[in-house]
Structure 1
Amino acid sequence: MKMFNIKILKAFEDNYMYVVYDSIKKLAIAVDPADSNIMSSFINENKLNLKAILTTHHHSDHAGGNEQMNLKYPEAKIYGGDTRIPKMTDIIGKHCQEIECIGLKFICLKTPCHTKGHICYYTDNLPTPIVFTGDTLFSMGCGRFFEGDAEQMETSLNKIIAKLDPKTKVYFGHEYTAKNLNFVCSIEQNNGELKKYKEIVDNTLSKGEYSSPSNLKDELSYNPFMRTSESNLQNILRTDNPISTMKVLRKMKNEF
């Protein structure tokens, strides 16, 4: 018998870390355990056996806890798609490469742009599929193009992540949702459905709850970075194709 849970842990100012664990067998996976103290406290208090660490990318606010985690849990494998990731034991070499951890099969999606080696981790082995998107996809936004361009982000978001099951829960890397929604509403001031969605999220956050996970269906409906093919959005931005729309959106968001 397996009973999987997902624990959301906050780190630093706005980072999210995650623990996927089997509450019966006490086996666990850590996702982006940047603050090793917070992560290890949860693992130890719940008497979990950490079997793997899934690292989305090499930035220190995601991978910076890997060295300490490796010292504390030397048997745990550390997965990633970039040789700059500290203490990585298993590199993800191919798009859609499959790995198995604690009885769950994850499909590793190569989503370069924020960083060249960014990986999103997807599994449909749970009652509702989940994906850990790091700094590629945020709720109502996306990561900055530090090591890539608009064409790469267009592919990552709208040719890879957008093709997942729309019921998928999206576990992202930062709590930027309120700021992202303010930006989106400034662009689409006449979008009534978007305003209703913003009210729901604002109410959630006002109660001290997390906006993670969002669900992919909502991202496809409201997140402009996942709607770059829509003519209404292109008309507002005065663009004529998805890549130029992605480029303009990111520039506007950077300056917002």
Structure 2
Amino acid sequence: MKVIPVPCLSDNYAYILVDEKAGQVAVIDPVEPAKVIPAVESTKMKLKAVFTTHHHADHAGGNSGLLKAFPGLPVYGGDEQRIPGLTKKLGDGDKFMFGSLSVHAMQTFGHTTSSICYYIQDETGDKIVFTGDTLFVGGCGRLFEGSPQDMYNSLIKKLATLPKDTKVYAGHEYTKANLRFALTVEPNNEELKEKARRCADMKCTMPSTIAEELATNPFMRVNQPDIQKAVDATDPVEVMAIVRRMKDNF
């Protein structure tokens, strides 16, 4: 299993998921088909599916254009009303095989009320998750449709429980700004400071891992005493709400 990031728009990522054993690929959030199609063609493998994380135009807006070039592709996602071209509606916990890869759909509400993260494993034990705008490296998505409780459930009760070595591929390159904000919340976090140093000169900061996010991302650390002390609250959902408001105004 291999993942090819495709920078799109100003700071988005589409991804090419390569199943080398089956000789096929899927695309995740192919917002700019003119950039995604050459990346697909470079693999010399067949494009077999589209995985959409959520309906926002900077993620799902390229579906129709891609389907013109590749008619009949199955399009997976969590919102049949708002995702263009959707043919495979997913619910929480749905599982399916993509070639030799095992795909597990996780409903992760907060940014929207229909977001899906795709947790994928191959036969060697390699694990990845495409998180769209739910979990960013060092951050999380704005609460456009969901509540702090929704985001807490998505980040802490779901994504945080994945194996720690799971590689995280987020929908935007927001990492440097996210880590600058995180340091204002937890300035004495040595792992966070090291991650900020490591990412400072990186053009593409993907992937992170679940372990790194648990150690450095304030939205994944709302149960930690240092974060709670920084915002003067102890209820983790309230902490989530406060930290999100702080980030919105950062």
Q: What TM-score, normalized by structure 2, do the two folds share? A: 0.95
Residue from 164, 167, 170 that aligns with 1:169: 167
Report the secondary structure of 2:158's partner residue. helix
Q: Which residue in 2 is equivalent to 1:32? A: 29
Is contact 1:29-1:102 (8 Å) kept?
A: no
Q: Which residue in 2 is equivalent to 1:232? A: 226
For 1:83-108, what per-residue CA distance to the aligned partner results, in whole angstroms no more than 9, with x for missing partners?
2000001101x311002212211000
Mapping of residues 76-87 of structure 1, within 5 Å = 76-83=73-80, 84-87=82-85
Is contact 1:111-1:156 (8 Å) kept?
A: yes
Q: 1:197 deviation in Å?
A: 2.0
Q: 1:188 deviation in Å?
A: 1.8
Is contact 2:186-2:226 (8 Å) kept?
A: no
Amino acid at match of 2:246: M
Report the secondary structure of 2:83's partner residue. coil
Is contact 2:214-2:220 (8 Å) kept?
A: yes
Q: Which residue in 1 is equivalent to 2:134? A: 136
Residue from 99, 102, 110 that aligns with 1:102: 99
Q: 1:24 deviation in Å?
A: 5.8
Is contact 2:54-2:116 (8 Å) kept?
A: yes
Mapping of residues 1-256 of structure 1, within 5 Å = 4-23=1-20, 25-83=22-80, 84-92=82-90, 94-125=91-122, 126-203=124-201, 205=202, 208=203, 210-256=204-250
* Gapped regions of structure 2 (runs ≥ 5): none
Report the secondary structure of 1:7's partner residue. strand
User: Matched residues in 1 for 2:191 and 2:210: separation?
Assistant: 16
For 1:112-155, what per-residue CA distance to the aligned partner results, in whole angstroms no more than 9, with x for missing partners?
11111100000122542100000000000000000001000000
Q: 1:186 deviation in Å?
A: 1.4
The alignment yields a C-alpha RMSD, in angstroms, of: 1.3
Is contact 1:51-1:102 (8 Å) kept?
A: no
Amino acid at match of 2:188: N
Q: 1:194 deviation in Å?
A: 1.9
User: Matched residues in 1 for 2:49 and 2:159: separation?
Assistant: 23
Overall identity of the aligned pairs, in %: 38
* Gapped regions of structure 1 (runs ≥ 5): none
User: Matched residues in 2 for 1:144 and 1:40: separation?
Assistant: 30
Count, aligned residues: 248
User: Matched residues in 2 for 1:193 and 1:169: separation?
Assistant: 17
Report the secondary structure of 2:200's partner residue. helix
Judged with a 3 Å threshold, the aligned counterparts in structure 2 of structure 1 residues 54 and 184 are, in CA distance, closer, same or farther, namely: same
Report the secondary structure of 1:19's partner residue. strand
Q: 1:43 deviation in Å?
A: 1.6
User: Matched residues in 2 for 1:238 and 1:219: separation?
Assistant: 22
Is contact 1:113-1:148 (8 Å) kept?
A: yes
Is contact 2:22-2:99 (8 Å) kept?
A: no
Report the secondary structure of 2:106's partner residue. strand
Q: 1:42 deviation in Å?
A: 1.6
Q: What TM-score, normalized by structure 1, do the two folds share? A: 0.93
User: Matched residues in 1 for 2:154 and 2:19: separation?
Assistant: 30
Amino acid at match of 1:228: V
Amino acid at match of 1:106: V
Amino acid at match of 1:212: M
Amino acid at match of 2:166: T
